[in-house]
Structure 1
Amino acid sequence: MGSQRDGDGSVDRPAKARWCAVTGGRGFMARHLVAALVRSGEWNVRVTDLAPTIVLGPGESEGLLGDALRDGRAVYASVDVCNLDQLIEAFEGVDVVFHTAAADPGKNNLQLHYKVNVEGTKSVIDACKICKFPDAYARTKAEAEKFVMKANGIDDLLTCCIRPGAIFGPGDMILPTLDQYGQTLFIIGDGKNYDDFVYVENVVHGHICADRTLSTMKGAQRSGGKAYFITNMEPMNMWDFLYMVQEELGYKRLFKIRIPLLIIKPISYLVEWGYKVFYHYGMCQPHILTPARIKYTTLNRTFSCNKAIEELGYKPTVTIMDGLKATVESYIQLKNKNISRERK
């Protein structure tokens, strides 16, 4: 791919280059790919690989890659393709991912090759799905998070961000929705996806841990401007969790209905299109049957809290089961109070 040059020999680049990521970016072929992408002038490149820092080879420091790293057209990120958290952070804001990472072919180790080549590729796909936000809420929250992290250290301001998993607890909308469906559990897709649920009090605890950390000079230097995942550290199958909720609500023998993605996805897009056309005529905005909801209910979304444990001193104070029992108890009490008021 050629690049036009001005009379002074400089590359004539588009007004705003897009970002892409190259996994295994220090491999043989990947180095040539990175060079081609930078040379095109159409791309800024996030080079990812296992090494903690990038070590430039002979000629690279004074060449195209060295120049790109110095002027910001290329950046390096240490990423393990089997680590979903690291991948999500590396892919944030990119438009395209070139996945070239692979295990060393010279090592005849089936376990290693399976982990990197198969499980690593699955993680890359999951990270791409999570980073490609289809809904306004997630996109704007991600944008706001960047502002918060960049504000750290400016005018004596100390900041960090908390990234909670799927929050549940007294007052949430999960229980009323599941209670409404009674003994029926609608499973979308293959039903094998995992999620990292977090009890609301653990999210509160995470915020308090962040405040305590930023309140010390050492903690502020270590954690300022960073983001931390907060979960219950008990990842589980999402549909098993919903099944547990319905059982706690008293629905012991659930009738499970599995709906293939090939069927539900087109319907969700049709419903979304219908709302855009007919909302003027009183059509209610869909909340459950939307492409964004369908996507998030079929994704594998598990995160590591190791950084929060090591740097914030975070540790869940309430287990999933204890939190679930407290949530159901609160919901039933509130439901009974409402029934009593209606009867009066």
Structure 2
Amino acid sequence: MGSQLLAEYNGAHQAVRRRCVVTGGRGFMARHLVAALLRSGEWFVRVTDLTPAIELGRGDTEELLGDALQDGRAVYSSVDVCSLGQLIRAFEGIDVVFHTAAADPSKDNLELHYKVNVEGTRNVIDACKICNVKRLIYTSSSVVVFDGFHGLLNANESVPYPDKFPDAYGQTKAEAEKLVLKANSLNDLVTCCIRPGNIFGPGDHVIPILDHYGRIHFIIGEGNNYDDFVYVENVVHSHLCAEKTLSTKEGAKISGGKAYFITNMEPVNLWCFAYMARTELGYKRPLEIRIPTLVIMPIIYVLELTYKLLLHHYGMRQPQLLTMARVKYLTLNRTFSSDKAVEELGYKPIVSLRDGLRIAVESYIHFKDNVLF
């Protein structure tokens, strides 16, 4: 497989010099990352994911990938991060790995999340060392410092990992991040972790959900909590900034083994953001419904307990609706400082919150109407 990879690379466009892998490359943010890497003209990109074969969707990013697959600037490999052997074959001849693969955050299954997020990341690190990969950039999350009980306002990287987490996703992403940071070594593999806020943009799940409840503006709790939404292209940009920084000796010395919060640097009231999105979608005066936390939490507790009993006796799965953990995410402040990323990675948002929201909604509407976006 290594000789095949080198042959693919040698047959690619001569301007392509560096070789990278994007794990979980068919995910939301990863698709935009792959497109940016290809658009730069500097990379040969191996896209890995679980599906046996790649199925391209609509949109500019998919069209760009399709062209790259045809002319050899990109290849697709079916790889399970839980398989070290598959990762080793995919990483042979590779300089940089962007590790974005993760278990579905909506499924609060500790066994699944531990297997994919923790064991999978450990396999990625081992494969990088075996294949002499130079740099590993891990897509972490701002949830790694959120305990579900205390709000966070302009939190920076000095905030420690909590003892407890509201869900399996946050817990296992934190454990995976620790592994990546510990793996950093200036003489061999240089690592870095990117902690985005709530990512939105073309192809996300945020806008469709808000559209589904478009005429009703739900507010849970007091409605005065702030959050950090970040446009997907800004998250992509932060990954590229991290790679560029780690590629120099000085940058590797400063940023190697560190984690960085990435936001739009425009903290916003969570419910105002939802209202802004609905306005962009064309809902001028949605009906506002406020639900006190003290009212909804007991109801959710009973529902979760009921579904656990049904799962135990009948194998029935819990619908992906509101959960105790999600209410905590929706009712507490969660804003983060990107000053460290600005200073050390040279990061700066390239798309504003308002412009990003407009682009995301326009893309969603086009997709909804089956028009290429």
- Decide: shared fold, TM above 0.5: yes
AA partner of residue 346 (structure 2): G
* C-alpha contact (below 8 Å) 2:153/2:335 kept by paired residues: no
1:153 to partner: Cα distance: 0.3
1:273 to 284, 292, 305: 305
**Alignment partners' CA distance in 2, 1:150 and 1:199:** 29
Instruction: Say whether the 8 Å CA contact 1:272–1:286 is kept in structure 2.
Output: no
Q: Match of 2:336, SS?
A: coil
User: Any idea what SS the aligned residue of 1:153 has?
Assistant: coil
Among candidates 146, 150, 169, match of residue 137 of structure 1: 169
Distance 1:165 1:267, change over 3 A: same
Distance in 2 separating the partners of 1:83 and 1:272: 30
The match for 1:302 among 321, 330, 335 is 335
Q: What pairs up with 1:122-161 in 2 under 5 angstroms?
A: 132-153=164-185, 156-161=188-193
Shift of residue 288 of structure 1?
3.0
Map 1:91-130 to 2 at 5 A. Answer: 91-94=160-163
Aligned-residue CA RMSD in angstroms? 2.0
Indicate which of 265, 268, 273 corresponds to 1:236.
Answer: 268
Count of aligned positions = 220
Structure 1 273/89 Cα, relative in aligned 2: closer, same or farther at 3 Å?
farther
Does 1:333 pair with 2:361?
no
Pairing partner for 1:197 from 208, 229, 240: 229
Please tell me whether the aligned partners of residues 199 and 232 of structure 1 are also in contact (alpha carbons under 8 angstroms).
yes
Match of 2:281 among 249, 268, 271: 249
Secondary structure of the 1:302 match is strand
Normalised to the residue count of structure 1, the TM-score between the two structures is 0.61
Counterpart position of 1:290 = 323
Structure 2 counterpart of 1:307, one-letter code = K
- 2:242 corresponds in structure 1 to 210
**Runs of 5+ consecutive residues of structure 1 not aligned to the other structure:** 1-81, 95-131, 339-344
Q: Distance in 1 between matches of 2:367 and 2:259?
A: 35
Task: State the distance in 1 between where 2:321 and 2:265 align.
Answer: 27
Alignment partners' CA distance in 2, 1:84 and 1:251 = 31
- The alpha carbon displacement at 1:281 in A equals 3.6
Say yes or no: does 1:85 pair with 2:155: yes
Cα distance change of structure 1 residues 257 and 291 upon mapping to structure 2, 3 Å threshold: same
Query: Structure 1: how far apart are the matches of 2:224 and 2:320?
Result: 23
Which residue is 1:313 aligned to? 346
Unaligned segments of structure 2, at least 5 residues: 1-151
CA contact (8 A) 1:271 1:289 kept: no
Q: Shift in Å at residue 223 of structure 1?
A: 0.3
Identity value in percent: 63
Distance 2:165 2:321 in 1: 17
